[in-house]
Structure 1
Amino acid sequence: MELHHLVNTFGQDLQRRYGEKVHKLTLHGGFSCPNRDGTLGRGGCTFCNVASFADETAQQLSVTAQLTQRATEVNRAKRYLAYFQAYTSTYAEVEKLKAMYEEALKSADIVGLCVGTRPDCVPDAVLELLAHYKDQGFEIWLELGLQTANDKTLQRINRGHDFACYDRITRKARALGLNVCTHLIVGLPGDTRVDHIETMDRVIGTGTEGIKLHPLHIVDGSIMAKAWRAGRLDAISLQDYVESASEMILRTPPNVVYHRVSANARKPTLLAPEWCENRWLAMTELGRALNIKGAQGSALGTPFVFPR
């Protein structure tokens, strides 16, 4: 059975609601990150490839030019979501954000925005701006990078915020009618399978409408890369990822949309795990596991028993 028959995927959700394929076009707004520029910290999260970050002062293509270029590259849809993906896409003055967001929304084939950011970089003015676009009929997704609900792990990876910060912003966004998609990383050092399940349960408790699952990538230039090369950090195996991810999906209500159930990266940037170079491998194995265990939401309300 194919994965989309077992998981409520974003692609099928959009197809159902719009009656046709809607594709995300990724944009770079030239944003930075407060965890790198000294506002909150320096060096970034320990999993980030700081050395390869783009020069923030470099001339970027306009939003319109990027959308045109991306639409030509994908050429698989007639309508699109403008996805401000790179770095912290709410980390600027509201007037600058307004100009960039509205440049994207003025395109006739753009049906909405996906805005990737950190939960500690979403002031009320930004939430109100996004809610304004939602009220105009646009599809708006606030994508929050949480990674884990374990505060000790968040501190260990130098994340710069705690779960309470994420919880507060998610509830504020939902009160304004905004859709929230929560990014989670499976395989962070210190997190166990129990942590993965507890993270999912706590995130679902905030009312998030979307989830993105991501296996931990150890990438060149990151702090984690140094630990991995020194033999102090193990990469997550495909089997362990599938075990945790499938259990998390089983405990997710069927109405929650999965924007992603895995992710890939390319060498030489990717150091480990090697299986993350194949974008289909984890999805295929997840499909097999769920075909045996059950579809999304089938384990709701059941206590998680850690396997012996």
Structure 2
Amino acid sequence: MTTLSEQVPTFGQYLLKRHGERVHKIALDAAFTCPNRDGSKGLGGCTFCNNVSFSPNGRQPRPIKEQLASGRRVIRKRTGARKYLAYFQAYTNTYDEIEHLSALYDEALADEDVIGLSIGTRPDCLPDGVIDLLAGYQDQGYEVWLELGLQSAFDETLAKVNRGHGFAEYADSVYRTRDRGLKVCTHLIAGLPGETAYHVTETLHRVLELGTDGLKLHPLHVVKGTQLANAWRQGEYQPLTLEAYVNIAADLVEQTPSNVVWHRLTGTAAEAILLAPLWCARKWLVLNAITTELHRRRAACRQVA
């Protein structure tokens, strides 16, 4: 059976072809907050948000240089890679004054092994000045990706999970960002409250119609300390089964043009905080199941042909 990277255009393969060697992300926490948490748009954040579930450094982060050094040691031991992207991941990494953003990004790029940036943010936190700043790094030859957290193209869903923005803000950000030549990776979530496979597929189509260079998909998982956890305990939210998620992921892969790179096809949470579904803690179980399903579908198509 073929591997996942043989069936799906993955980000790792994209970087290998582009730079001629393995390139890995190092996740960073620069102590940003979010307009949906600090009161400017709301309090408490998204109903599913517990930063511990995606930040390896918690809320008292070490200096950027120390985080890079630590991440580099782990990655070199695991894969041997010696080139990296500084991945500003936790919360909203464009939500500050330009001068502070520039200082943080410059600090990361000062590391000779860091060849670029990947900046995670919200579509409503991208003033033109930030886009100009990032485009400037790309003009200097750095690999730059802007990761936009959309999750769903349905405003009703976004309101239900307390996102604090709608699809219109995402569309505006994509237009302005791609107009400057920056690469966009769009984050999507399968299994949001009230949504079915139809909603995820329709979201994909709307995103592709606007234009995106990359995609990230993960299942909605219930973690401790969130509003979603309360809804789950009260029986008001039922997470996706592994089978349902695998089918959704395979559908999306099949409907995505080959020039769009898949940065991620699943997401995990630490077992210490994960409540449901428990299969979300097993990354390779999910990826192997997606690989098997894609292989099964393609084999069936060949037989029909």
Do these two structures clear the TM 0.5 threshold for a shared fold by scoring above it? yes
Q: Which amino acid aligns with 2:178?
A: R
Instruction: Tell me, in whole angstroms, the C-alpha distance in 2 between the residues paired with 1:21 and 1:244.
Output: 29
| Pair 1:37-2:38 in alignment | yes
SS in 2 for 1:285: helix
1:9, distance to aligned residue in structure 2 (A)? 0.3
Instruction: Tell me, in whole angstroms, the C-alpha distance in 2 between the residues paired with 1:282 and 1:105.
Output: 34
* Counterpart selection for 1:138 from 142, 146, 157: 142
Written as runs of structure 1 = structure 2, the 5 A alignment for 1:111-260 is 111-260=115-264
Q: Which amino acid aligns with 2:146?
A: L
Structure 1 stretches of 4+ moved >6 Å: 50-54
Instruction: Tell me, in whole angstroms, the C-alpha distance in 2 between the residues paired with 1:23 and 1:85.
Output: 14
Instruction: Tell me, in whole angstroms, the C-alpha distance in 2 between the residues paired with 1:163 and 1:144.
Output: 12
| Pair 1:91-2:95 in alignment | yes
| Pair 1:47-2:48 in alignment | yes
1:231, distance to aligned residue in structure 2 (A)? 1.2
Instruction: Tell me, in whole angstroms, the C-alpha distance in 1 between the residues paired with 2:51 and 2:137.
Output: 33
1:52, distance to aligned residue in structure 2 (A)? 8.5
1:61, distance to aligned residue in structure 2 (A)? 2.1
Q: Which amino acid aligns with 1:30?
A: A
Deviations 1:134-163 (A, max 9, x none): 000000000000001111100100000001
Instruction: Tell me, in whole angstroms, the C-alpha distance in 1 between the residues paired with 2:197 and 2:26.
Output: 33
- Contact (CA 8 Å) 1:113, 1:138: kept in 2 or not? yes
- Contact (CA 8 Å) 1:44, 1:50: kept in 2 or not? no
- Contact (CA 8 Å) 1:50, 1:221: kept in 2 or not? no
1:293, distance to aligned residue in structure 2 (A)? 2.3
1:178, distance to aligned residue in structure 2 (A)? 0.3
Note closer, same or farther for the CA distance 1:59–1:237 as it changes in structure 2 (3 Å cut): closer
1:51, distance to aligned residue in structure 2 (A)? 9.0
Note closer, same or farther for the CA distance 1:19–1:138 as it changes in structure 2 (3 Å cut): same
- Contact (CA 8 Å) 1:250, 1:294: kept in 2 or not? no
Q: Which amino acid aligns with 1:97?
A: L
User: Is there any run of 5+ residues in structure 2 with no aligned partner, and where?
Assistant: none
- Contact (CA 8 Å) 2:53, 2:270: kept in 1 or not? no
User: Is there any run of 5+ residues in structure 1 with no aligned partner, and where?
Assistant: 299-308
Q: Which residue in the other structure is 1:105 paired with?
A: 109
Instruction: Tell me, in whole angstroms, the C-alpha distance in 2 between the residues paired with 1:200 and 1:94.
Output: 32
Q: How many residues align?
A: 295
SS in 1 for 2:186: strand
Deviations 1:145-202 (A, max 9, x none): 0001111100100000001110110111100010000010000011111111100000
Q: Which residue in the other structure is 1:305 paired with?
A: none
Note closer, same or farther for the CA distance 1:262–1:164 as it changes in structure 2 (3 Å cut): same
- Contact (CA 8 Å) 1:24, 1:82: kept in 2 or not? yes
- CA RMSD in angstroms comes to 2.0
Q: Which amino acid aligns with 1:6?
A: Q
- Contact (CA 8 Å) 1:51, 1:221: kept in 2 or not? no
Q: Which residue in the other structure is 1:306 paired with?
A: none
Note closer, same or farther for the CA distance 1:31–1:292 as it changes in structure 2 (3 Å cut): same
Instruction: Tell me, in whole angstroms, the C-alpha distance in 2 between the residues paired with 1:130 and 1:179.
Output: 10
Q: Which residue in the other structure is 1:24 paired with?
A: 25
| Pair 1:78-2:82 in alignment | yes
Instruction: Tell me, in whole angstroms, the C-alpha distance in 2 between the residues paired with 1:294 and 1:167.
Output: 33
Q: Which residue in the other structure is 1:66 paired with?
A: 67
1:267, distance to aligned residue in structure 2 (A)? 1.8
1:59, distance to aligned residue in structure 2 (A)? 5.6
